[in-house]
Structure 1
Amino acid sequence: MNDMRGASAPSFTPDVIYCPPPDLGLDLVFLDEAMLVLNKPAGLLSVPGRGEGREDCMISRAARRYDDAMIVHRLDMATSGMLVLARGQAMQRALSMLFQDRHVSKRYVALVHGLLACDEGEVGLPLITDWPNRPMQMVCHERGKPSLTRYRVLSRDAALNQTRVELEPVTGRSHQLRVHMLALGHPIVGDPLYGDQVVQAAWPRLMLHASRLTLPHPVSRAEQVFESAAPF
């Protein structure tokens, strides 16, 4: 198999102990009878995980207050930012179709190691699950699924040797943003799975935040734009 993991990718999957952040209430961005948009904190699963002790998650917390809340899409546990939840099965179907048909535009803000040379660009490397090291993903030109990420530099910090970037996942593969930035030689700061593990362990979290969502309302079809500032 012709694959490219990146020179600094680990050859094993680190043990991840689930310690969800304390429940301080829902951080609501938007609410109506069709859907709600929440800010998910870093370290919290979107849906219940496998195994004992992984029941606490964003959908379970939301459902305690809104009993018709249903999951539509997910964010990685380590990623913070906006998550759309449907209210009831009909809205779940409608919103799921919007995501499936790519009528939803998503933007993320990330800090990456190193100074990106280009102000903007694209990464179009195909991705596949790295089965011996699940849940990690890797680039595979033979069997990987087509994947495309656009990036735009927001600022560069020469002193810290970091770049703040806006990332647009045109496709929605698992860990897409994380693996594509690693493949560029600029892993996302604080990533517990990708990049030099000694360097990454010095950071309290993955510096990746879902900062902007644009989608048609599932009932009115009016364009909705939601924004959330990155907490880093």
Structure 2
Amino acid sequence: MIASLSFTTLIHYSIVLLFIWLPVVTSFEAHPTSNAPRTPRHSLSAHSETTSSLEEDDHGEWVLNPETNRRIKKDGPKWHDFMNGQGGYICHNSKLVPIQLERILTWTQQEEASDQSQKALETADDSVVGATPNTAWRRLAPEILSSDEAPNDVDKESLPFLDELLFAFKPASLLTLPGIGEDKQVCLASLVNEWIPENLTVPPKKRESSDDKKKKKTKKKKKTFVPRPCHRLDYDTSGVLVIGLTRDSLRLTNTMFEQKGVESGSPSKVLKKTYVALVAGAIAQDHGIIDYPIGKVFNEANGYSEFVCLHDDSQRKEDDFVEKSLRNAKTKYTVLNRFTLPVACSTGNNGPSSQDSFVQYTKVQLEPLTGRGHQLRLHMAAIGHPILGDQLHAPNTIVAAAPRLCLHADELEMGVRIDEEQGVCVALVRVRCVPPF
């Protein structure tokens, strides 16, 4: 049969077969086998190899500019020009959402002085119960700083090993740990522990601590360890959070965070946590330290105690606080940007807008020198600059100014131990997460 085919027909069949074979060859070259060996995640070399891809995931988010209808890269030059130059927007649910400036204007004009705490607390509780949690967490890559910046006079055994920690971004509208009730079981801790089996080897290489040596004499079996966050971020606060992958790392990191709450309020050598917030009004000083104690006051109407700040203008007295709950609290603040934006004002009687008023709000960096409940919210409210969207301690107009709490844990620096060929060394790592405002 083949012999009976003409030369032209053979050429035709050859061309057809060539076109069929080429895509197959290309597909094999473009998609290498998935059975290739994977580098262990817990080695330093593996960490440095995966850092680039993690950073691409963290900073490769694109959001739509509603004014130009074009996408801009988060943390890129246009992002900074838009967010820090023009202002008036925050990033919420992957969209740039305008701040309700007229709400801030109303607050400025009325200077609401009524106590909103009871209503705000009820609103905050309702927002958690039955709400759909934001599960868009992601792993963050730490940056190892130079050895010159590492603390030299710190006991090595007081620091956790870097490869026994996992750094994560917690979105707003997500609990750090599970709450009471079936509707509060989805949290960052549960999401991470669902992710770990297929993506991470836990625990890493066993290291014998001094505590383990003491416990060797006992023959009791230890319960299986479940990785757990070493500290908390509020439900409506987003940002960097560190998770202990072993008992030792959890215990040591917990201690580091607890030591930030000492009465002196002095900066820690091995742990520094900073936040970015948007607050109502223009803060006059470029930087300063807020030093007002915080404690708990029993709310008879609601039947539980709530955090309250004792400051110069408050109507509270020390006797109002639950016994031994009032403790020293210090927050360092640095103004990053002051915004003054126009708001169209109506002439009244549903008439047209004839003139502009100007609204001011401030982007500020906050460093808690102590660790008290609701410290940043309370301190900013105490100096007359409540955080936008704060349902707990801000007037209703400021709550309505933003669709979420404008508070974000943007950076964490901490001392860690690292295994190297010449032995264990102390290093300082920094983890960053781009603020959404």
Regarding TM over 0.5, the answer is yes
In the TM superposition, what is the alpha-carbon distance from 1:11 to its structure 2 partner?
3.9
User: In the alignment, which residue of structure 2 is the partner of 1:107?
Assistant: 274
**Alpha carbons 1:136, 1:175 under 8 Å: kept:** no
User: In the alignment, which residue of structure 2 is the partner of 1:153?
Assistant: 335
In the TM superposition, what is the alpha-carbon distance from 1:135 to its structure 2 partner?
6.8
Question: What amino acid is aligned across from residue 10 of structure 1 in structure 2?
Answer: Q
**Mapping 1:10-29, distance limit 5 Å:** 10-12=116-118, 13-15=121-123, 16=125, 17-18=127-128, 19-24=131-136, 26-29=137-140
**Mapping 1:178-217, distance limit 5 Å:** 178-217=377-416
Q: What is the SS of the residue equivalent to 2:387?
A: coil
User: In the alignment, which residue of structure 1 is the partner of 2:201?
Assistant: none
**Alpha carbons 2:387, 2:398 under 8 Å: kept:** no
| Distance (Å, rounded) in 1 between the aligned partners of 2:401 and 2:298 | 27
**Alpha carbons 1:136, 1:193 under 8 Å: kept:** no
> Which stretch shows the higher mean deviation, 130-139 or 52-61?
130-139
In the TM superposition, what is the alpha-carbon distance from 1:198 to its structure 2 partner?
3.6
Structure 2: gaps (5+ residues): 1-111, 143-161, 198-225, 261-269, 311-316, 342-358, 419-424
> Which stretch shows the higher mean deviation, 6-15 or 213-222?
6-15
Q: RMSD of aligned C-alpha atoms? A: 2.1
| Distance (Å, rounded) in 2 between the aligned partners of 1:188 and 1:9 | 16
| Distance (Å, rounded) in 1 between the aligned partners of 2:396 and 2:180 | 24
Question: What amino acid is aligned across from residue 152 of structure 1 in structure 2?
Answer: T
User: In the alignment, which residue of structure 1 is the partner of 2:163?
Assistant: 33
Cα 1:229–1:11 change in 2 (3 A) is closer
Give the fraction of aligned pairs with identical amino acids, expressed as a percent. Answer: 35
Q: Give 2:308's match in structure 1, choosing from 125, 132, 138.
A: 138
| Distance (Å, rounded) in 1 between the aligned partners of 2:277 and 2:115 | 18
| Distance (Å, rounded) in 1 between the aligned partners of 2:378 and 2:405 | 13
| Distance (Å, rounded) in 2 between the aligned partners of 1:135 and 1:48 | 21
Cα 1:112–1:23 change in 2 (3 A) is same
**Alpha carbons 2:135, 2:171 under 8 Å: kept:** no
User: In the alignment, which residue of structure 1 is the partner of 2:190?
Assistant: 60
Structure 1: gaps (5+ residues): 1-5
Number of aligned residue pairs: 226
| Distance (Å, rounded) in 2 between the aligned partners of 1:11 and 1:87 | 38
Q: What is the SS of the residue equivalent to 1:45?
A: coil
Say whether 1:86 aligns with 2:192.
no
In the TM superposition, what is the alpha-carbon distance from 1:150 to its structure 2 partner?
0.6
Cα 1:230–1:213 change in 2 (3 A) is same
In the TM superposition, what is the alpha-carbon distance from 1:85 to its structure 2 partner?
0.4
Q: What is the SS of the residue equivalent to 2:402?
A: coil
Q: Which has the higher strand share?
A: 1
| Distance (Å, rounded) in 2 between the aligned partners of 1:14 and 1:64 | 32
Higher-Rg structure is: 2
| Distance (Å, rounded) in 2 between the aligned partners of 1:228 and 1:55 | 25
Question: What amino acid is aligned across from residue 137 of structure 1 in structure 2?
Answer: F
In the TM superposition, what is the alpha-carbon distance from 1:218 to its structure 2 partner?
4.7
> Which stretch shows the higher mean deviation, 12-21 or 142-151?
12-21
**Alpha carbons 1:95, 1:218 under 8 Å: kept:** no
| Distance (Å, rounded) in 1 between the aligned partners of 2:193 and 2:177 | 11
In the TM superposition, what is the alpha-carbon distance from 1:194 to its structure 2 partner?
1.4
Q: What is the SS of the residue equivalent to 1:217?
A: strand
**Mapping 1:63-78, distance limit 5 Å:** 63-66=193-196, 68-78=226-236
The TM-score with structure 1 as length reference comes to 0.89
- Per-residue CA deviations over 1:5-60 (Å, capped at 9, x if unaligned) read x9354141223232243424x41113763101111001111101123311111111
